[in-house]
Structure 1
Amino acid sequence: MRVAIPCSDDRGLDSHVSQHFGRARYFLIADVDDGIRNVRVVELPFEDHMPGDIPRFLQSLGVNVVITYGLGMKAMGFFESMGIKVISGAMGRVGDVLEGFIKNSLILDTDWRSKEEFRGHHHD
C-alpha cells in the first residue's frame, strides 16, 4: 500500500510529521508492506490550495493511506470520498511513524482535536 505523511521539511524519513496537514509543503510517499520501499519526498505543486486540492494531488500519486497529526473535517471528507484511509494523531519522526504503522504499534495523540490550532476546524 502507498502511504503519504505530511512533513515539516524535506528530509524524508528523518523529517517530523507536520503538525497541521493543510500547512505542510512536503509529503513523504512510501510503499509499505512488511518493510518501507520506494521512499520519496514530494513538494506540493501549488502555493495556495482550495479544499480538496491536496487530497486530489495525493490520490493522483496512488496514495491509499494518509498518516497525519491534525487535519480539518473537509480534508477528512475528501479522503473518505476517495476511499483513502486517514490515520490522525501521529507525531514524531516520519521513519518511526512508518515503522509503528507497519508493526501495528503506532502511538497516536487522540486529543489532537482539542489543541488550540484545531478548535476552529469544527471537529465532531
Structure 2
Amino acid sequence: MKIAVATERGMVCPHFGHCEGFTIYETEGKDVKSSSFVESPGHRPGFLPVFLHEQGVNVIIAGGMGAGAIEIFDEKGIEVVTGASGSTKDIVNQYVQGELKSSGSICNEHQHAGECGGH
C-alpha cells in the first residue's frame, strides 16, 4: 500500500493544498518498507488528487483538506485521513497500527483560514 502524507519540514502539513510536498510511504501490513519525498507540483483546484492517484497512492493523510479535493479522492478510491498532526513518520506508523482515525476536518480556505495553517 502507498500512503502519502502532506508534508511541511518533516511534519504533517495543516493544509493539504499548501504543503511543500508529499512523503510517500510504501507499506506491507503493519510494516513501513520505504519512503520517498515528492515535491508538490503546485496547488491548482482538482490537480493534486489526480497527481497522487497517478503516483499509485491508496491513502492521503493531512491536517485539513478542502471538500473538492476530498470528493476527487473519494472518486479515485483513495482513503482520506484528516485532522492529523506531528511528524510524518509517527503519523504513518499510527495509521498502519490502526491507531489513526480521520477527524473529517474539511477546510474552507476563506471561512476557516486560521484552522488550516493561516492560508
- TM-score (structure 2 length as normaliser): 0.83
Matched length: 111
Q: Counterpart amino acid of 1:82?
A: K
How much does 1:112 deviate? 4.5
Q: Alignment RMSD, CA only?
A: 2.2
Among 57, 70, 80, which residue is 1:86 paired with? Answer: 80
Quote the Cα distance in structure 1 between the aligned partners of 2:71 and 2:114: 16
1:1-124 to structure 2, matched below 5 A, reads 1-9=1-9, 15-32=10-27, 33-45=29-41, 47=42, 49-106=43-100, 110=103, 112-113=105-106, 116-117=112-113
Structure with higher strand content: 2
How much does 1:31 deviate? 1.1
Quote the Cα distance in structure 2 between the aligned partners of 1:27 and 1:85: 15
Note the residue ranges of structure 2 that are not aligned, 5 or more in a row.
none
- What's the % identity of the aligned pairs? 31
Q: Counterpart amino acid of 2:71?
A: G
Secondary structure of residue in 2 paired with 1:19: coil
- TM-score (structure 1 length as normaliser): 0.79
Quote the Cα distance in structure 2 between the aligned partners of 1:87 and 1:71: 9
The Cα offsets for residues 31-56 of structure 1, whole Å up to 9 and x where unpaired, read as 112211220000023x4x32111011
Note the residue ranges of structure 1 that are not aligned, 5 or more in a row.
10-14, 120-124
Work out whether residues 7 and 26 of structure 1, in 8 Å CA contact, stay in contact via their aligned partners in 2.
Answer: yes
Deviating 4+ runs (over 4 angstroms): 111-115
Evaluate the alpha carbon distance shift between residue 99 and residue 83 of structure 1 in structure 2; reply closer, same or farther with a 3 A threshold.
same
Structure with higher helix content: 1
